[in-house]
Each structure stands twice: as structure tokens, then as C-alpha cells.
Structure 1
Amino acid sequence: MNKAATIDTQSGTLAADNRARVAKPEHVPDDLVRDIDMYALDGIEEGYHEAWVGLHAKNMPKLVWTPLTGGHWIAMDGPMVREIYEDPTRFSSEVIFLPKEAGEKYLMVPTRMDPPEHTPYRKLLDTGLNLARIRDVEDAVRKTAIELIEEIAPLGHCDFSADYAKIFPVKVFMAMAGLPMTDAPKLEHFAVGMTRPTGDTPEEMAACLDAANTGFFEYVEPIINERRGGSGTDLISVMVNGTVDGEPLPHDKAIGMISLLLLGGLDTVVNFLSFMMIYLARHPDKVAELKSDELKLLRSVEEMFRRFPVVSEARMVAKDQVFQGVELKHGDMILLPTVLHGLDAKENKCPMDVDLERKGIKHTTFGAGPHRCVGMHLARMEATVTLQEWLKRIPAFKLSAGANPIYHSGIIAAVENVPFVWDTN
């Protein structure tokens, strides 16, 4: 590995770049190499989505290779992102996190499985998070949102990320799982360690992810042991007492599956909500449009998910092949930034705009293929309820003067420091 130097954008001087780089493999053409760090995107201070779109605009080939984060390919084309997601025969889920050294430490089930092994585990997950079950909890989800917003509304200000986005979906999920809210900070710490691991080298990032993965496993194992064989109707009980191919869920797979549910429930929607609401705070015309038509509000949710994807998973090349004219080797990793599908101008006209009349929306915000997000029905409900109940009680809001949201990129993008103000008269 080697180090390089970068230009300090504020001072214009040459600064040391401590990020580890790997040597370019022989099969990677020189003209496809780009210095792109998925955990520290150039231009991230202007916004996560803006940073990826800005990179895409720089005459990027459809597929590029970066020496950063252990060395990997990046799909820079929307349809390519979908194609890779949908074809596990060529692009395996055996490793889905980057750097690869870290992804090999990720042990959650069934996201690291390919069909047909994956299929019965996915069916079990669907029993706990299918649309019918999510509809059954809608009243409780709405009550949670209303209670939070009614505490906030009289104040005339809040940090949306800290005071709502990091609480609402977490309370909902912890209640569905039958877990105490007091455990949420510990689980959130593990989630961040997995989706935005720290470290200057792949080995250091792998150690961070491994510790977080172990933290989840150690947390869920006694809960699984306690609920195994019980009659509980909470999400964990439904999963651990379910069957796979007619047999009880194996203990090690139960640990991986429940850990996956907690990871997905405690980080993804949390960050999506903040990105969505920052946009609305900056576009009062869109807020007015949503308030004027309840049907339009309901239909807007899919457009919001298209516009504000937060996930960048990877796939491992399953076999030597030539893909889109590029030679790939078995074991190569390819990053799939879902942002580059929903915000691809070839797929969606004027993609940076939230168009509440948009037809034929194309995106992979929830992934695609056999691993399409099992929590998408809950995510859609949480977004819908947030829009409905927030706009009823806080119909006009904006970012505080001088507000400077802080953006983070990674497996799941994040934003914090989201101060809103509004008139309470």
C-alpha cells in the first residue's frame, strides 16, 4: 500500500493524504482508475447526494476502479447498478461491505447468501415484515410520531436529526422487536461501527466492523435463548420460532438474522428522514404542494425514496467475466451506490428535483433482485406518517440561519446537525 498527497481546498497547499492505496491489478485498465473514497467523498460538505452526482458528472466511465478502501470497482451508471443487483449468478452477495477485509467480517443472515440458499431465510423474514403485518402496526407507528411531534411543535425549533429522526423509527422498531428503548444507544453505536467503520487502513476498518458485528451477536444471543420456544408475537419471537425448509431456524443463523434486523431498523430510515426533511425545509413550495393534496402526499413517498437513497452496498464478482466490455476477475468487489440510479438523468428527468407529478419512477433505493430490502414496507409507512403528522402540526418550517448540516458517506449515508425553526403563533 502507498500514500499520496492532496491539495487542501481551503489553503491551496499540498497536504499529506494518509489514506492507504493498493496497487492496481494487471487486469484494470489505467483509464478506468479514479481516486474515489466511498467513506470520504470529494464535495461531501455540499451534501451526500450532491457529492455522488458531482463525481458522476466528471466524464466518468460507467465502471471505474479505485485504489482506495482496499481497491474495488464502482458502478457509476444507474442501469448498471440495477443489473448487478439483479444477477447473483455473476455478482455474489458473499461479501457486501467494503473494504473487502471488513466485509469478510460481516456475518449477518441472509444478506451474505445467494439463491437458492438465501430463499427460505428470506421467506422467514417476510413473515415478520410483510405488508399485512406492517399495516397491523400502523396505529402504533402513528401514535409514536404524533407524541414526538407534539412535544417538539410548541418549542418553535429542534434539531430534526437528534430530536425526531434518531428517535421515531428507533422507537417503532424497538417496540416491534420487544426491546427496551434504553438499549437503543448501544445498538446505534454498533450500527455506525458497521456502516461507517473508522480506520485509515482496510485492516483497521475490518477490526472496527468485526467489533460491531460481535457486539450485535453478543447482545441478541441471550434474547434469542429467552424467546426460543415461547409464544410471543414480537418480531424477534416470530423469527426465532420460525422454520427454514420445515426445520427450526438454526441457532447461529438466528443470531445473524436478528442482528441484521436490528442493523436495518436502527440506521437506514433514521438518515433517510433527515435528508428528506432538509430538502422540504429548503423548498416551501413543495411543502405547500404536499399540504394541498393528501393523495399527492401519499404518492410523493416513492419520489422521496428515489431522490434520497442512502445505501451503497457492494457485490463480489462470482466468476471471471467480461462485463460491459471490462475484464473482471473472480473476487473483485463492485460498489453499488444506489444514489447513482435514482439520480441518473437517463433514468429520471431532472433527477435532483423532487417532482410530485413524476411518472415511471426508477430507483434501487431498496436494492433489487433477491435481496430487495425486506423492511421497505415499514420504511414507506414511517416516511408517510412523518409527512402527514409533521405537516399537520408544523406546516411551515425552515433551516436555522447559518445552518450547516454535517454529511457522512459510507455503506449507509448519514446527516446530523439539522436545526429547524418555525413560527409557533
Structure 2
Amino acid sequence: MNKAATIHTPSGMPAADNRARVAKPDHVTDDLVRDIDMYALDGLESGYHEAWKALAAKEISDLVWTPLTGGHWIAMNGPMIKEIYEDPSRFSSEVIFLPKEAGQKYLMVPTRMDPPEHTPYRKLLDTGLNPARIRDIEQMVRQAAIDLIEPLVAQGKCDFSADFAKIFPVRVFMAMSDLPLEDVPKLVRWSDDMTRPTGSTPEEMAACLDAANQNFFAYVEPIIAARIGGTGKDLITTMVNGTVDGQPMPHDKALGLISLLLLGGLDTVVNFLSFMMIYLARNPDTVAELKGNDLKLLRGVEELFRRFPVVSDARMVAYDMEFRGVALKHGDMILLPTALHGLDETENAEPWTLDWERKQIKHSTFAHGPHRCAGLHLARLEATVTLQEWLKRVPEFRLAEGARPIYHSGIVAAVENVPLVWPTA
């Protein structure tokens, strides 16, 4: 087994590594064991994507196993990540969060369902998030971005994460769902506890995630009750009055589906936008290519999603099998760090570089197969609008001198402290 990673305190001093480890199962060979902690990646201080790629660069195996986070496999390249996402018959969504003990407490649907049970719930989700519905809200999304950017322009500086990224997609989603903005702080806190649960053992992390999941359910239950039979056009009313196989949605499934909408709307795009902006602030030549070229910008958004994925969820092995020469057992968990697909050199040449002209872009940022992200059209719109409206008003910007973004890894990666500066008129 590899040596345990060195743990550091906030002061930078080494500390004892007391992370909980599980015993290696008999079917896992010694040569595949690595100390990789998805919630505290080695080298994370240099960047989330950089940390994952540095770990992958050390490997000669496509699949490794870690005793941390309850013990699980990790897929280490793009083609394997894509293959696992695409095949629910071998790799189930019955449990998708790690550690497994926490994932078993996750009750949101349809993300933890497999086809055919998953299919009618996904169809219902698509009625509220399809391209036509998203086009209908474009002006609202654009105005939300403008309202946030305009007051910042004359200041010549901002913390992009705090002043824009953590507000804009959340404001959009709350408007789509007809929910009050004053509820955002507690919803964001519960989202954080699900995607980056606290605790030093799998059991403690499970308790954190379970409490957050139950808080979501308690929050949405009266909202669902109030909107059943309603005629509103908001996303929640559309969902709770839809049907599943021709029948009203069961109450427990409604709790899970509406909670999932909130979880997805309050975390992923928030963090993607900040990762995106750090890169653009460090690469003014890349930004300059977009000025006055809206067509290039529209085409380039997919390249941004390739370069800055933030999700690392998991799949459960459906039955005993040999996969890529490795013995897997029913119930084994496999982590899928989507960062390793878009940054895979065998899939995308010079993957660290944003290339607005890149053809045949390959990534797993929105996953693949039956669980391909239902919110991808909204995410693309929010990214596009952010770039368009920001560059109109702040065409030149950079990271403030000495800026040190703070990175967090987990089921959804996060970044804070993104201070930008720009010349004012």
C-alpha cells in the first residue's frame, strides 16, 4: 500500500493522519491500493483539476482502490468514466454518493434509480428543463446577470465567487421555482452538507448527509402540498402536477424529485462559473479572442464545460465481474471524477488549454447514459449569458495581486476567494 498522504493544518504544519481507513477486501490486489481522499485531495491547494490530474499521472492502472472514504474504486481515465456512466446494467445508480454509508442515506430521485424505473421520472424532469422551456426564460436569466454585474463595473474589483457566482444561478433557480430568496442561505448550507459532508468517519459523514437530506424533504413537503392542483408555470408546480406512467407521482418520490431540483440548482453551476473565471483572468489572450465574436463565444461554451467539470459521483457494481482485467464484486463502489475525462490527453489534445476552435470535444461534465444531466441546457445558458454580459462591461480583468483561491473537493468541487480587478473609466 502507498504511504498515507501528508495532512497539513491551515498554518501549513504537518499533522497526524487520523483519517478512517477500511481493510482491503480479498479481491483487491495490493498493487491497486492508493491513499486517495476525494474530500481532501493531495495537492488541492494548487487547484482542484490540477490535483486530480496529478494523481492520475502517477498511475499505470485504469482502476485503483482506496481504503479512505469507506473504501472504493476510482476510475482514472476518460474512456472508462464514460463507459461506466453509459452502462447501468453493470454499474448501478442505486448508490451514487460516497462514502457508501452516506450514499445509502441519499434519497433523491431519479438520480438513484436505474432504468426502467428511472425512465418516467426523467421524462417528467425533461418537461420542465427542455430547451424550449429554457429559451422562454432567457431574458429573465440575462437580466439577472446584468443586475449583478452593473453595480460592480465602477468598483474596478470584486470577489467573483461571492459577488456573482454564488448569487446569479441561485437567483435564477429560485425565480424558476417561485421560491423566496431569503430561504437561500439554509438551502445552500444543506447542499454543502450533501455534496461535501463533514465528519471523520463514514458514519459521521452519513449522519451529516442524512440530516441535510431530511431538511430538504421537510422544506419541500409543504410547498408540494400547496402546489398540487395548481396552475402556475413555475418548475415545482410543473413537476408535482405531472404524471409517472399515467399516474400522479407518489408522495415520497415527489419529495425526492423536488429536493433534487433544489440540490442541483444551488451548487454545480455556482462553482463551475468561479473555476471558469479564474482561468480567464489568468489568460487575457484567450478572453481577447471572444471580444466582438459572439459566434465563437457561443461555440466555445462547451469547451469551458470540458475544461472545468466539478462533479465526482459514483456507481455501484451490479454483480460480480471482471472489468478491464480487475475483479469487481457486487456492491463495490466506483468513483467517477469527471475532471479526468475532459483533461485526458488521449481524448482531447492539449487538454489544459482552452481552444475555442476545438472540434469533437469529449468530456463527462454532464455525465452520459440515462442519467445525463437534466439541467445541462440551463447550465449552458447561464454560462453563455455570464460571458456575454460580463465581457460587454468588463472586457479586461485579472486576478488581484497575490490572490489565492481556496479549493474544496467532494461530490461537487467548490472554489472560494476569486478576487478580480479591472481598469475603470
TM-score with structure 1 setting the length: 0.98
Unpaired stretches in structure 1, ≥5 consecutive residues: none
Unpaired stretches in structure 2, ≥5 consecutive residues: none
- Confirm or deny that 1:33 pairs with 2:43: no
1 CA distance for matches of 2:11 and 2:414?
Answer: 27
C-alpha RMSD over aligned residues: 1.5
1:100-158, CA deviations, whole angstroms, 9 ceiling, x for partnerless residues? Answer: 00000000010010000000000000000000000000010001001110011111110
Is the CA contact 2:44–2:407 (under 8 Å) kept in the aligned structure 1? yes
- Confirm or deny that 1:364 pairs with 2:364: yes
Is the CA contact 1:5–1:15 (under 8 Å) kept in the aligned structure 2? no
Cα–Cα, structure 1 residues 9 and 110, in superposed 2: closer, same or farther, change >3 Å? Answer: closer
Is the CA contact 2:5–2:35 (under 8 Å) kept in the aligned structure 1? no
The one-letter amino acid paired with 1:239 is: M
2 CA distance for matches of 1:12 and 1:374?
Answer: 41
Counterpart in the other structure of 2:317: 317
Counterpart in the other structure of 2:48: 48
The one-letter amino acid paired with 2:349 is: K
Counterpart in the other structure of 2:58: 58
Q: Give secondary structure in 2 for the equivalent of 1:200.
A: coil
Cα–Cα, structure 1 residues 14 and 419, in superposed 2: closer, same or farther, change >3 Å? Answer: closer
Cα–Cα, structure 1 residues 289 and 4, in superposed 2: closer, same or farther, change >3 Å? Answer: closer
Alignment of 1:3-402 (within 5 A): 6=6, 15-402=15-402
The Cα shift of 1:6 comes to: 3.4
Cα–Cα, structure 1 residues 116 and 24, in superposed 2: closer, same or farther, change >3 Å? Answer: same
Q: Give secondary structure in 2 for the equivalent of 1:193.
A: helix
The Cα shift of 1:10 comes to: 11
Cα–Cα, structure 1 residues 421 and 219, in superposed 2: closer, same or farther, change >3 Å? Answer: same
1:393-423, CA deviations, whole angstroms, 9 ceiling, x for partnerless residues? Answer: 0110111101000000000000000001111
The one-letter amino acid paired with 2:411 is: I
1:159-203, CA deviations, whole angstroms, 9 ceiling, x for partnerless residues? Answer: 000000000000000000000111111100000000000010000
The Cα shift of 1:9 comes to: 9.9
The Cα shift of 1:80 comes to: 0.2
The Cα shift of 1:16 comes to: 1.2
1:243-294, CA deviations, whole angstroms, 9 ceiling, x for partnerless residues? Answer: 0000011111101000000000000000000000110000000110011411
Cα–Cα, structure 1 residues 223 and 44, in superposed 2: closer, same or farther, change >3 Å? Answer: same
1:311-356, CA deviations, whole angstroms, 9 ceiling, x for partnerless residues? Answer: 0000000000000000000000000000011100000001011111
2 CA distance for matches of 1:304 and 1:89?
Answer: 31
Cα–Cα, structure 1 residues 125 and 9, in superposed 2: closer, same or farther, change >3 Å? Answer: closer
Q: Give secondary structure in 1 for the equivalent of 2:420.
A: strand
2 CA distance for matches of 1:352 and 1:206?
Answer: 35
1:72-95, CA deviations, whole angstroms, 9 ceiling, x for partnerless residues? Answer: 000001100000000000000000
Aligned pairs, how many?
Answer: 423
Q: Give secondary structure in 1 for the equivalent of 2:407.
A: strand
Is the CA contact 1:4–1:18 (under 8 Å) kept in the aligned structure 2? no
Query: More deviation in 302-311 or 248-257?
Result: 248-257
Is the CA contact 2:153–2:394 (under 8 Å) kept in the aligned structure 1? yes
2 CA distance for matches of 1:258 and 1:12?
Answer: 42
1 CA distance for matches of 2:15 and 2:179?
Answer: 47
1 CA distance for matches of 2:49 and 2:300?
Answer: 19
1:43-76, CA deviations, whole angstroms, 9 ceiling, x for partnerless residues? Answer: 0000000000111111341000000000000000
Is the CA contact 1:78–1:340 (under 8 Å) kept in the aligned structure 2? yes
Identical aligned pairs, as a percentage?
76
TM-score with structure 2 setting the length: 0.98
2 CA distance for matches of 1:207 and 1:155?
Answer: 43
Is the CA contact 1:366–1:376 (under 8 Å) kept in the aligned structure 2? yes
1 CA distance for matches of 2:32 and 2:397?
Answer: 44
2 CA distance for matches of 1:149 and 1:372?
Answer: 31
Q: Give secondary structure in 1 for the equivalent of 2:98.
A: coil
The one-letter amino acid paired with 1:205 is: M
2 CA distance for matches of 1:277 and 1:109?
Answer: 32
Q: Give secondary structure in 1 for the equivalent of 2:174.
A: helix
Q: Deviation above 6 Å: which 4+ runs of structure 1? A: 9-14
2 CA distance for matches of 1:263 and 1:191?
Answer: 6
Cα–Cα, structure 1 residues 9 and 140, in superposed 2: closer, same or farther, change >3 Å? Answer: closer
Cα–Cα, structure 1 residues 73 and 26, in superposed 2: closer, same or farther, change >3 Å? Answer: same
1 CA distance for matches of 2:378 and 2:15?
Answer: 45
1 CA distance for matches of 2:210 and 2:4?
Answer: 28
2 CA distance for matches of 1:381 and 1:249?
Answer: 29
Is the CA contact 1:60–1:76 (under 8 Å) kept in the aligned structure 2? no
Cα–Cα, structure 1 residues 293 and 11, in superposed 2: closer, same or farther, change >3 Å? Answer: closer
Q: Give secondary structure in 2 for the equivalent of 1:313.
A: strand
The Cα shift of 1:8 comes to: 5.4
